[in-house]
Amino acid sequence: MAERRSWSLGSALRGMFTRERIDEQTWEDLEDALITADFGPDITDEILDHLRSEVARLGTDDPRDLKRMLRETIEDRLAKFDPTLKLSARPAVTLVVGVNGVGKTTTIGKFARFLRNFNRTVVVGAADTFRAAAVEQLDTWAMRADVRIVRPQHFGQDPASVAYQTVETAMRDGIEMVVIDTAGRLQTKAGLMDELTKIHRVIEKLTPVAEVLLVLDATTGQNGVMQAEAFIEHAGVTGLVITKLDGSAKGGFVLAVQERTGLPIKLIGTGEGINDLTGFTPHVFAEQLLADA
């Protein structure tokens, strides 16, 4: 039997697809399940309208057909975005951004290990220089992932200069991947965005930035997207990392967040362990979402 995931629709849909036929109760239960899973009211309505018309077109009243169509609809919508990480440059520089507490540092540790598992050499840069704890935490993760780290030389060093030194180290020593941690909070949003713009500009004196990954916490769902609005508007984000999916009942958030932001999900975090990060595959995700329904 498939392993039950907290974000799976299985418990919400339990029994629905083993009933004898599709009836009004089926549609009501399906609507409740999609709303509970944080698909949001608009996407829920669109999916239901689409499924109703498909059921009518095929002339079926078999709930198993409905389950298959639901999975295909979700997969088709998820697949409208390209989840591929664009890391062919050498070095390939990834900036990781997002508000504090969403799992940014943990994600960088997991991502460093993810890249090491593909036999890539990696250096991480601790450009969140005003929080000593952030540097220490990143150091611990770098050790666990068995990758190098460039730390600030002193407290509060210009984050852009740490980012620059990290890329410089990679170029000098032939390291393939650079992953840079950034601050999640400053006195003002404008200050934070200026800092990120500066980091970007300074790195690009050496080499283009390959990816800017915005980390979002699945347990905060759509509210988390609102908190990250400034990053989406100003930070040149190229992809999303969704963390804490393991503790979330909001599997639908994954679809809603791509459609709402227009940004592809490139990685998902499913636990606190170093190996709990995977690439995002729409087919697999849609299957898992409905695995035990």
Ligand X SMILES: Nc1nc2c(ncn2[C@@H]2O[C@H](COP(=O)(O)OP(=O)(O)OP(=O)(O)O)[C@@H](O)[C@H]2O)c(=O)[nH]1
Is residue 270 close enough to count as binding ligand X by CB under 6 A? yes
Is residue 220 close enough to count as binding ligand X by CB under 6 A? no
Build a one-symbol-per-residue string for 236-265: x at contacts with ligand X by CB under 6 A, - elsewhere: -------xx-xx------------------
**Cβ proximity to ligand X, 91 vs 109, nearer residue:** 109
Using CB under 6 A as the binding rule, the residues of this chain from 13 to 52 that contact ligand X are none
Q: Do 145 and 274 meet the contact criterion of CB atoms below 8 Å apart?
A: yes
**Cβ proximity to ligand X, 15 vs 101, nearer residue:** 101
**Cβ proximity to ligand X, 74 vs 183, nearer residue:** 183
Of these, 40, 63, 125, 184, which contacts ligand X (CB under 6 A)? 184
Strands in 122-126's sheet, in edge-to-edge order, are 148-150, 122-126, 177-181, 92-97, 209-217, 239-243, 265-269, 277-279
Is residue 273 close enough to count as binding ligand X by CB under 6 A? no
Cβ of residue 223: shortest distance to ligand X, in angstroms? 16
**Cβ proximity to ligand X, 63 vs 152, nearer residue:** 152
**Cβ proximity to ligand X, 247 vs 264, nearer residue:** 247
Cβ of residue 85: shortest distance to ligand X, in angstroms? 18
Cβ of residue 247: shortest distance to ligand X, in angstroms? 5
Cβ of residue 15: shortest distance to ligand X, in angstroms? 29
How far is residue 184 from each of residues 162, 189, 227, measured CA to CA in Å? 16, 10, 11
Build a one-symbol-per-residue string for 67-86: x at contacts with ligand X by CB under 6 A, - elsewhere: --------------------
Residue with tokens 């929080």: 131
Of these, 100, 140, 153, 275, which contacts ligand X (CB under 6 A)? 100
Cβ of residue 122: shortest distance to ligand X, in angstroms? 17
Cβ of residue 111: shortest distance to ligand X, in angstroms? 11
Of these, 2, 80, 86, 101, which contacts ligand X (CB under 6 A)? 101
Using CB under 6 A as the binding rule, the residues of this chain from 130 to 149 that contact ligand X are 134, 137
Is residue 269 close enough to count as binding ligand X by CB under 6 A? yes
Chain residues that interact with ligand X, rule: CB under 6 A: 100-106, 134, 137, 184, 243-244, 246-247, 269-272, 276
